[in-house]
Amino acid sequence: MTNTVNKIMPTAKPFSLSSSRSLNTQAYRFFGWVLPPIFGLFLLVVIWALIAEHTPELPGPIKTWVSAVELFSDPFYDHGINDKGVGWNILASLQRVGLGFGLAALIGIPLGFIIGRFEFVARMTAPVISLLRPVSPLAWLPIGLLVFKAANPAAIWVIFISAVWPMIINTAVGVSKVPQDYMNVAKVLNLSEWKIVTKILFPFVLPYMMTGVRLSIGVAWLVIVAAEMLTGGVGIGFWVWDEWNNLNVEHIIIAIFIVGIVGLLLELMLTQIAKRFSYE
Amino acid sequence: MEKANADKYVQLEHVDMTFNTKKGTFNALKGINLNIKEGEFISIIGHSGCGKSTVLNLIAGLLQPSEGLLFCAGREIAGPGPERAVVFQNHSLLPWLTCFENVYLAVERVFSTETKAQLEARTHAAIELVGLSHSSDKRPNEISGGMKQRVGIARALAMEPKVLLLDEPFGALDALTRANLQDELMKIMAKSGCTAVMVTHDVDEAVLLSDRVVMMTNGPSATIGEILEVKLPRPRARLALAEDQEYNHLRSEVLRFLYERHAKKSA
């Protein structure tokens, strides 16, 4: 294309050459950016199809797709407590995650600030955190059931306990990393504790905190499926278990994709929020 | 309050400073005695590691002496106070606040009884004093190193301190910017008339700006070696002084102290 343009308008050579080249690099960049992920997903579907071909119990991609179209054509039906549309199940899970995660943020972030700010509290809480953090969140479920005497608060409790650690730890690390220079400024300006928190600590810690929040939401969403499998009711985890009992394998595969996509969206959303709060 | 002796506005009496480090105690300063007059400009000069910044931090109240006493305006220095403002070496502006907000933070605390409009007027005045009105809404990472240091100076001056403490204020700047800022600092100090203590390792800077140059011996257990009076008339002009006999004599006095009598062995 560059050649024909050059023949017609030789004077325009440098311009047309450079613009077509930049167009080419742009296109190249775009495809270089977009093609590998598409290829990766395609490969996943191919492998899945091949395995399904040789495993009669496992539905292939096409069968699953048909089932998904049918499922999502009416996501919000309600046929009683054990038969609700997939939309309701997703919303129920999101609500639990939202509540558990929100409570974790409400307690974890201020606690992280206090731990990072006061050496004594840090040393006091260190053994407790080290002891409790590696415990599988599901191990807390019986305690939740015992204390709350109901499945739903117990599930929220499990989400809370799994989401709270990254927020406490990341916030505390952020606070302890505040440069001494800034604290000297605070001392010389004789700033009040409130001003130190709002004008120095909070802006500095925010990126660390957002990392904690992102890790938390990831863990919370990871745990909800398992928790709901055990507690039952409405929710994506329970739905997976229910479809397993019905031997509806297409729906189980769809659920895997739903969990993955919702988790991805949550993560993306928080990354965007984190970018907004960055002062750089 | 008892009127402070103008000749002993800032007083350091038998000040010792010992730090507890992992390797044991480190005696940084030993027997520092210094009286600073009201309105005087003092430079503290010495090789790196001689504890000159420690002296400044003691006056600022950021550190407490192991032995001895420090006074400012007749009162013992017990901690940082608004009458002693600090200009930090690395400007130490908060990167998430604009230049205006950085200065406002200081003003707001010192003049807490004033209205918002008065506080804003003070902030604008301080920023104008250092010639940065056009950049007051910019963040520190959007302006040059010299401009950042100007904001640091504005922040300190906006507090209307009685003593301005400068910790190698121009150390991180290039030679031209440094010269510019030195000239401006001289003008500003002449206008405000406040007392100043500056830590520096630049001989020209020390002689050009100061009324007295305090020369420190090498650490550990560093102390004041000599004090040099600089009786050059003000206002001082950089170019004229370069040819001035008295100036060059003073300059070589400081150099002789630093490189002959107290040369640093491992440099």
CATH number where B39 lies: 3.40.50.300
Q: Report DSSP letters for B58-77, one per residue.
A: HHHTSS--SEEEEEETTEE-
Which range of residues forms the domain containing residue B105?
A: 93-160
The crossing angle, in degrees rounded to 10, of helices A249-277 and A236-245 is 170
**Same domain, yes or no, for A145 and A217?**
yes
B88 in any annotated domain: no
**Same domain, yes or no, for A168 and A262?**
yes
3-state secondary structure of B164: strand
> Nearest chain A Cα to B61, which residue?
A188
**Same domain, yes or no, for B194 and B242?**
yes
**Same domain, yes or no, for A123 and A22?**
no
Q: List the one residue out of B190, B217, B187 whose CA is nearest residue B51.
A: B217
**Same domain, yes or no, for A46 and A107?**
no
- Chain B residues near any Cβ of chain A (below 8 Å): 60-62, 79-82, 84-86, 88, 90, 92, 94-97, 105-106, 109, 139, 141, 159
User: Which positions in chain A touch B106 (Cβ < 8 Å)?
Assistant: 189
- Chain A residues near any Cβ of chain B (below 8 Å): 181-182, 184-185, 187-192, 195, 199-200, 203-204, 279-280
Among candidate residues B143, B160, B177, the one where a domain is terminated: B160
A176 in any annotated domain: yes
* Total tally of structural domains belonging to chain A: 2
Q: What is the four-CA torsion angle of B138, B142, B143, B148, rounded to 10 degrees?
A: 80
**Same domain, yes or no, for A206 and A86?**
yes
Helix segments in chain A, DSSP class H: 2-8, 13-54, 61-73, 86-117, 119-132, 141-148, 151-176, 180-188, 193-195, 202-231, 236-245, 249-277
Binary contact (A181, B92; C-beta < 8 A): yes
**Same domain, yes or no, for A124 and A243?**
yes
In angstroms, what separates the C-alpha of B213 from chain A's closest C-alpha? Answer: 25
**Same domain, yes or no, for B114 and B178?**
no
Among candidate residues B160, B175, B191, the one where a domain is terminated: B160
Nearest by CB to residue A187, choosing from B80, B94, B105, is B80
Binary contact (B97, A182; C-beta < 8 A): no
B141 in any annotated domain: yes
Q: At B245, give phi and psi (nearest 5°).
A: -65, -45
* Total tally of structural domains belonging to chain B: 2
Which range of residues forms the domain containing residue A43?
A: 2-58
Tens digit of each residue's pLDDT, chain B (267 residues): 444 567 788 999 999 999 888 888 888 888 899 999 999 999 999 888 788 889 999 999 999 999 999 999 888 998 898 889 999 888 789 999 999 999 999 999 889 888 999 999 999 999 988 888 899 899 999 998 889 988 999 999 898 899 999 999 888 888 888 898 899 889 888 888 889 999 998 999 999 999 999 999 987 888 898 899 988 888 888 888 888 899 999 999 999 988 887 777 654
Q: What Å distances lie between residue B249 and A135, B41, B204, B224, B228, CA to CA?
A: 74, 19, 12, 21, 11
A68 in any annotated domain: no
Q: At B136, give phi and psi (nearest 5°).
A: -65, -20
A71 in any annotated domain: no
Cα A254 from chain centre: 19
CA distance B74 to B131: 34
Tokens of A213: 């929040």
B75-76 and B84-87: which strand pairing? unpaired
Q: At B90, give phi and psi (nearest 5°).
A: -100, 40
**Same domain, yes or no, for A234 and A122?**
yes
Q: Looking at this predicted complex, what is its ipTM?
A: 0.81
Among candidate residues B160, B186, B204, the one where a domain is terminated: B160
